[in-house]
Amino acid sequence: MNFEAVIGIEIHVEMKTKSKMFSSSPIAFGKEANTLVQPLDIAFPGTMPIVNKQAVINAIRVSHALNMEIDHELWFDRKNYFYSDLPKGFQITQDKRPIGKNGYVDVKLSDGSVKRVEIERLHMEEDTCKQLHMADYTLLDYNRAGTPLIEIVSRPNIRSGEEAMRYVEAIKSIVVFSDVSDGKMEEGSLRCDVNVSIRPCGSEKFGTKVEVKNLNSTANVQKAIDFEIKRQTKLLLSGIPVEQETRRFDEMKRETVLMRKKTDSVDYKYFTEPNIVPIRLSNEFVENAIRTCPELANEKLVRYINFGLSEEEATQMLQNRALSGYFEHCLSINVKRAKLYWNWIMGEILGYLNKNAIDISKLKVTPDNLDHLIEMLEKQDLSSNQAKIVFEKMTIDNKDASKIVDELGLKQNSNEDEIRALVDEVIAEFPQSVIDYKAGKDRAVGFLVGQIMKKTKGKVNPAVTSKIIIENLKTK
Amino acid sequence: MYLGKTIEELHELLVNKMVTPFELTKEAIDALKKDTTNAIETICEKEALDFAKTLVDPEFDNLLWGIPYICKDNFSTKGILTTGSSNILKDYVPVFDATVIKKLKEKKAVLICKSTLDELAMGGSGMTGHKGITYNPYDSSHTYRIGGSSCGSASLCAQGIAPLALGSDTGDSVRKPATFSGLVGLKPTWGRISRFGLFPFAPSLDHVGYFTRSVKDSAFVLEVLAGSDIEHDATSSPREVEKYYSLVNGSIKGKKIAYIKEINKGIRDQVIKDRFDYCLDLLRKNGAIVEEVSLDRNLLASLYPVYMIISCAEATSNNANLDGIKFGPRIGGETSYQEVMMKARTAGFGELIKRRFVIGSYSLLRENQSVLFERAQKVRHLLVNKVNDILKEYDAFIAPCSGRIKSEFVENSDNVTDEIDIDKMIIENHLGIANFAGLPSISIPVGIDNGFPFDFNITGRAFEEVNVFNIAYVLENELNLKNLSVIKGER
């Protein structure tokens, strides 16, 4: 029997707004526990939520990028439950009227086909506090409590691990390029819960779904789903029903493991948040939020291709927002060098960053200085090997490329008159090479270039030199 | 002896240096210590005297300068114990001031006391606070209620200890006790006064309210407390605050005032009936047009159950933060967080509260929501629409605050017996209309019978507090019942 997988994904995105969803408390990572808190964040009696405007702008931008209908009236609801990490005893979310609904995103698969993943809803809510479980007690850090979240819920029309992975990558790209979030799965600023079930091909009925949590990379999303599909298929083929449960992905074992059996679903007793009167969003506000959204990856892609990159090259650059930001800086200096910048960023720069395990924000070389280096290369003042040496020096303190060239005495001599004199000199010194050349031994040219390099300690332009040598030999 | 004076009277004395804020505060605190009605949670003696001492240069255009006031113990006061009259918060000292507290501080009014309430402002009997029953100062036999939930504020203001006492009003918690203590009790339009720092009971119905002993005092206080608070309360209105104090001049000529037949049907005391007719005549004499209107009896009768469902549903959520982890006593619970929460909440809340939490949770359950909570919301809207229809034609409506002048203590005010007296249910709960619709509503003393004062209530259009004040002001002048207090006795 053939089975078809039915996959739905819920993604939580932590927004990087300056302050929290409903309080003026600042947001930052890695600060001392419980230092970024306002009375509201710990649910002091009498505190009330004030909606963060930037969070709303962010939600509009992502909704728009996901082709969603945007609700022009903001409604919030309370989701009521008791839990140790939940300050108020309820979470403020958008249950009945999410800000975005009925959207989609198109993702490209490895076989070249395009999959349209349908998205049911996008809503805003607030994060809980962070728990640190010790041996016999638990510590609570309220710094995270109230951090604005966007939750994006797909429809269950995803069919494979690859589709799921591409979908998560697409969401990640949108939230990162729109400046809404860091989108770091490994740090939890983009969290993803996957529901997987399988059913016989052609069946309309859904199978029993299993929720998989703890997916800290897009690759693991694919691996976990692929594993889960295999596991469930095996069960069904052996006549064992799939049980409704929550599992997590174990990275070491590369398989999903049981966390807990699902019991009856919790009744969250939703009702409209009475402390926020519905907020009317003007067309102008919504349009402005969309218009001022930072350029997204798919828009950049078109531009990069116009600048002469291939689709693969452009896509590769857009995998990393920071790298592409650096690339954008370079482009603003001289668009015509797009391909050269790409080569340098994807080659030397990425190599350097990887070697030193740093990200591009730590790179000392400015785009201007890089451009300067590339310019010298273009003018053939430097050989590409020399340029690499210069670049290495530039990474230390961004010293001007031409200064480094001077200091190292690297500048290539491309002056044809001077080189002609040198050529005359070495041909006179090595008459045998003329004979060799005439006898058809082309390597005589290389030999002569080598001699001139030796004399000048490599400061002549080898291409120019070899051209003049050939001209000279031909006249003999 | 300065007890029993109004804000206006005390202001005259203060600016003419007949008395200092310190002396006034001292006298009020001495009087607090002699309270026999169990109305006090905390006397802020040191804070009040220290602050009063700093007040030396009178502010002539600020009526509240140096005036002692009382605050219901469900307003957050920085550094001062705030219990909500509940064991679950018996040791809670807030880290911030409610907006109204901040505003009164800026006006140099002196907070002298935190007063008792029905636990967390739920219940209207004055019986459910963690310190026990708060009594009515007009009744030394302790037979009749002062009502609630703002029982302590009502009692202390009626004793003349301070001319202003803050309360909160979710169903009638200021305006109902006002009738049993002969005070002016105001709850303005929803959103007119910031609720930041007021412990929430049911935010869609909650209002800051207060007691004074004159209409003019009430108007001045509103001028101070009203206004938007965009940083703390998103429901506070950005509308400009009117100059209520100078706009209160008793001019009601041509104003149309309604009274609702179905409410008045529940009057069970001839004195009230006669007084009502007499007051209508006084209003007519002053140029108002007074007419009887009718409102669907079934809708009015549904007010109480609808109120219970909505307020309890909101209440169960609002008080979910009191879980023994952040707030409330740690009774124990070594096995799980659930155990910590259950133990704290079981020990921390009184019976009436727990009962209301159950009602609230029940009405929000998935299987019940459409027949209970959502239906209650629909009925609320229906009733609000009907009332607003009346207010399209009339500037305000007037009604008795209660069908009786006195109300005896009964075991549990929430208990509904099998035999429901619809007329009684309507007249004893109709003040909630103003909470459902967020309308400005004032209770005003209109008579004294055998030593027991009683009020009528006037409710007007949203943000038209001035109309409401003026109608009340006319009655106050005509009836000569300004500044009632226990000290002055019968007039």
The identity of residue B42, as a single letter, is T
Q: What is the mean pLDDT of residues A192-208?
A: 93
The reply to whether A398 and A438 lie within a common domain is no
The reply to whether A275 and A309 lie within a common domain is no
B 153-172 near A (Cβ less than 8 A): none
| Residue A284 burial (C-beta neighbours within 10 Å; 0-12, 13-18, 19+) | exposed
The reply to whether A402 and A420 lie within a common domain is no
The identity of residue B219, as a single letter, is A
Report CB contact under 8 Å: B321, A140.
no
The reply to whether A315 and A217 lie within a common domain is no
The reply to whether A37 and A147 lie within a common domain is yes
Q: Note the pLDDT of residue B96.
A: 98
| Beta-bridge partners for A157 | none
Q: What is the CA radius of gyration of chain B?
A: 21
Q: What is the mean pLDDT of residues A361-375?
A: 93
**pLDDT confidence band for A428 (50 / 70 / 90):** confident
How near does any CA of chain B get to the CA of A304, in Å?
44
Q: Is residue A274 part of a domain?
A: yes
Q: Which of A24, A140, A274 has its CB closest to that of B314? A: A274
pLDDT tens digit string along B25-79?
Answer: 999 999 999 999 999 999 999 999 999 999 999 999 999 999 999 999 999 999 9
Place of tokens 């409590």: A145
Q: Is residue A287 part of a domain?
A: no
pLDDT tens digit string along A141-186?
Answer: 999 999 999 999 999 999 999 999 999 999 999 999 999 999 999 9
User: Which of B85, B166, B337 has the highest number of chain A CBs within 10 A, making it the mutation to test binding with A?
Assistant: B337
Last residue of a domain, one of A248, A280, A312: A280
How near does any CA of chain A get to the CA of B161, in Å?
27
Q: Which of B94, B98, B321 has its CB closest to that of A87? A: B321
The reply to whether A12 and A91 lie within a common domain is yes
Q: What is the mean pLDDT of residues A297-310?
A: 95
Report CB contact under 8 Å: B364, A50.
no
pLDDT at B274 over 80: yes
CB environment A427-436: b (16+ within 10 A), e (fewer) = beeeeebbeb
Q: Note the pLDDT of residue B191.
A: 98
Q: Note the pLDDT of residue A121.
A: 98
Q: Note the pLDDT of residue B490.
A: 40
Question: Does residue A401 contact residue A394 with C-beta atoms inside 8 Å?
Answer: yes
Q: Is residue A430 part of a domain?
A: yes
Question: Does residue B275 contact residue B479 with C-beta atoms inside 8 Å?
Answer: no
Helices (H) and strands (E) in chain A, counts: 16, 16
Q: Is residue A288 part of a domain?
A: no
3.40.190.150, 3.20.20.60, 3.90.1300.10, 3.30.420.40: which CATH number matches B7-253+427-479? 3.90.1300.10
The reply to whether A121 and A189 lie within a common domain is yes
Chain B residue whose CA is closest to A91: B317
CA dist B348 and A40 (Å) reads: 22
B-chain residues near A145 (CB < 8 A): none
User: Which of A48, A88, A96 has the highest number of chain B CBs within 10 A, making it the mutation to test binding with B?
Assistant: A48
Chain B residue whose CA is closest to A79: B317
Q: Note the pLDDT of residue B414.
A: 64
Chain B residue whose CA is closest to A87: B321
Chain A residue whose CA is closest to B201: A46
The reply to whether A130 and A252 lie within a common domain is yes
Q: What is the mean pLDDT of residues B373-378?
A: 97
Q: Which of A39, A82, A277 has its CB closest to that of B234? A: A277
pLDDT at A366 over 70: yes
* Peptide bond connecting B149 to the previous residue in cis, omega within 30 degrees of 0: yes
The reply to whether A183 and A95 lie within a common domain is yes
Q: Note the pLDDT of residue A380.
A: 78
Average per-residue pLDDT for chain A: 93
Q: Note the pLDDT of residue B491.
A: 34
Question: Does residue A64 contact residue A70 with C-beta atoms inside 8 Å?
Answer: yes
Question: Does residue A55 contact residue A21 with C-beta atoms inside 8 Å?
Answer: yes
pLDDT tens digit string along A403-421?
Answer: 888 888 777 777 888 888 8
Chain A residue whose CA is closest to B325: A84
**Domain extents for chain B?**
7-253+427-479, 300-375
Q: Is residue A205 part of a domain?
A: yes
Q: What is the mean pLDDT of residues A248-255?
A: 92
Q: Note the pLDDT of residue B416.
A: 61
Last residue of a domain, one of A408, A441, A466: A408
Last residue of a domain, one of A245, A280, A315: A280
Task: Give the angle subtended at the CA of A352 by the CAs of A346 and A357, to the nearest 5°.
Answer: 110
Torsion of the alpha carbons at A347, A348, A350 and A353, rounded to the nearest 10: 170
Check if B72 is active-site.
Answer: yes
| Residue B134 burial (C-beta neighbours within 10 Å; 0-12, 13-18, 19+) | buried
**pLDDT confidence band for A298 (50 / 70 / 90):** very high
A-chain residues near B323 (CB < 8 A): 82, 89
CA dist B298 and A334 (Å) reads: 78
Neighbours of A12 (CB within 10 A): 17
pLDDT at B176 over 90: yes
B-chain residues near A83 (CB < 8 A): 337
- How many structural domains compose chain A? 3
Place of tokens 């002055």: B488
The reply to whether A427 and A342 lie within a common domain is no
The reply to whether A422 and A375 lie within a common domain is no
Q: Is residue A286 part of a domain?
A: no
B 212-241 near A (Cβ less than 8 A): 230-235
CA dist A356 and A367 (Å) reads: 19
Quote the domain boundaries for residue A33. 3-280
For residue A464, give the CATH number of its domain. 1.10.10.410
pLDDT tens digit string along A37-95?
Answer: 999 999 999 999 999 999 999 999 999 999 999 999 999 999 999 999 999 999 999 99
Question: Does residue B395 contact residue B255 with C-beta atoms inside 8 Å?
Answer: yes
Q: Note the pLDDT of residue A29.
A: 83
The reply to whether A81 and A214 lie within a common domain is yes
The identity of residue A451, as a single letter, is Q
Q: Is residue A241 part of a domain?
A: yes
DSSP secondary structure, A4-60, as one string: EEEEEEEEEEE---SB-SSS--B--SSPPTT-S--GGGGT-TT------HHHHHHHH
Neighbours of B349 (CB within 10 A): 23
**pLDDT confidence band for B8 (50 / 70 / 90):** very high
Helix (H) or strand (E) holding A124, with range, is strand A114-126
pLDDT tens digit string along A238-247?
Answer: 999 999 999 9
Report CB contact under 8 Å: A49, B92.
no
Q: Which range (A243-257, B288-302, B451-465) has the least confidence? A: A243-257
